[in-house]
A and B are shown apart, each in its own frame.
Chain A
Amino acid sequence: MDVLIFSLAFTFFVVANPVGNSPVILALIQDFDYQKQKKIMFREAVLALLLALFFQFFGELFLGLIQVKSYALTYCGGILLSLVALSMIFPTPPEDVKQMKREPYFVPIATPLIAGPGLMTVIMAKSQEMTQWWVITVAIVLAWIPVTLALVGSPLMQKVLKRRGMVALEQLMGMILMLISVEMIVSATMMYLNS
């Protein structure tokens, strides 16, 4: 049972992909100072955890009630991320100071980047397989320890990369995010056509 919990936790960690996502997230919050960035990261990690736990218990029920199929969930993630990716590749100059300092809240960091459609689907699938619900809960919480650490630690990267590095990183990560999102849209289309 112990091994199972760890393997589940590892799966959740890999699907949430905080290490792969942290450059993207960092590029999104590069305008804030170091302390603020750490705070934002921690908050988003907590929000993502809450969302993951919500989906473990009520995901199936909720999506069933509002009659949303799983391909719609994947489409949703894909479309949102592609919009974020486009705004990273073609950054528009902020209209005013207030606009520039607007914090990302929940969307797009907590969801769909960390607790995205992929993670939600995996959690729902795994909780159908398991008879004891607490195994999944423990695994999610366990997975969230490295997830949170990876997120909170990532602002360090900005200190290393400096301003120019961050601009390059934003472009590069925009491209990678676009790939991820298009992949989501493609796989959602496959699911939709097969249904």
Chain B
Amino acid sequence: MTLLSMTLIFFLMMDPLGNVAYFIEVLSHIPHKQQRWVILREMLIALGVMVFFYVIGDLLLDFLEVSDASVSLTSGTILFLVAIKIIFPNSRTSRARMHGDFEPFIVPLAIPLIAGPAMLATVMLFSHKFGPQVLIPILIAWFLASMVLVMSRHLMKTLGRNGLMAIERLMGMILILLAIQRFLEGINLFMTSV
């Protein structure tokens, strides 16, 4: 897998474009000047978590005795369910309930919106499969995602609420594509291992 595809996959899985509206909503009661710092802080935390899983990925998989096929299937399943909730929003889902009046710290922005379980599973899977070079696409994708989110207010102004909603749904659809692909790869791995 090339560097470019890995970067694109990581970028899409962090889903910055789909999360813009949600970020704005969660940060709405924080003064504008402070928002940027909150976003940066949350992104740094997310990066920390991702790098952590990148480092311990191999160890963790060996320790739990989990095969590549299972990680692939897990990542596919979780991503699929997350994406379904993006496409068919429901007021009962945690995504709509997660924010209150408190300042968001770690939850819900850094985890699970940016570094969600599906993302972390993919980080582990890729670093297990392709070795240490996976860190570079993670960093590039993270940087691009941060740029998008820091500019979220401008994006909202140019695209409008409806434009953002359309993009959110489109991204959800792409996430489902990725999820299904990952799931089928998991089945392939399983088939070749038996």
Name the CB-closest residue of A to B88: A83
Q: How many residues of B contact A (CB 8 A)?
A: 26
Is residue A96 contacting chain B, with contact meaning CB distance below 8 A? Answer: yes
For residue B8, CB closer than 8 A to chain A, the reply is yes
Q: Is B94 an interface residue, CB under 8 A from the partner?
A: no
Q: A66 to B91, Cβ gap below 8 A?
A: no
Q: Which of A91-112 contact B (CB under 8 A)?
A: 95-96, 98-99, 102, 105-108, 111-112
Q: Say which one of A1-9, A12-20, A72-80, A131-139 lies at the interface with B.
A: A72-80
Residue A47, interface by CB 8 Å: yes
Chain A: how many interface residues by the 8 Å CB criterion?
29
Expressed in whole angstroms, the Cα–Cα distance for A76 and B92 within the complex equals: 24
Q: Judging by beta carbons under 8 Å apart, are A68 and B181 in contact? A: yes
Q: Indicate if A34 sits at the interface (CB-CB under 8 A).
A: no
Binding site for A on B (CB under 8 A): 1, 4-5, 8-9, 12, 84, 87-89, 91-92, 162, 165-166, 169-170, 172-174, 176-178, 180-181, 184
- How many Å lie between the Cα of A46 and that of B149 in the bound state? 27
Interfacial chain A residues near B170, Cβ < 8 Å:
51, 106-107, 111
Are B169 and A105 within 8 A (Cβ)? Answer: yes
From B8, B89, B166, B173, contact of A66 by CB (8 A): B8
- The answer to whether A67 and B181 have CB atoms under 8 Å apart is yes
How long is the Cα–Cα vector from A80 to B174 in the complex, in angstroms? 12
- The residues of B that contact A105 with a CB separation of less than 8 Å are 162, 165-166, 169
In the complex where A68-B178, A79-B180 touch, is A106 in contact with B166 (Cβ < 8 A)? yes
A66: chain B residues within 8 A (beta carbon): 5, 8-9, 12, 174, 177-178, 181
Q: State how many angstroms separate the Cβ of A79 from the closest Cβ of chain B.
A: 7
Contact of A107 among B162, B172, B180 (CB under 8 A): B172
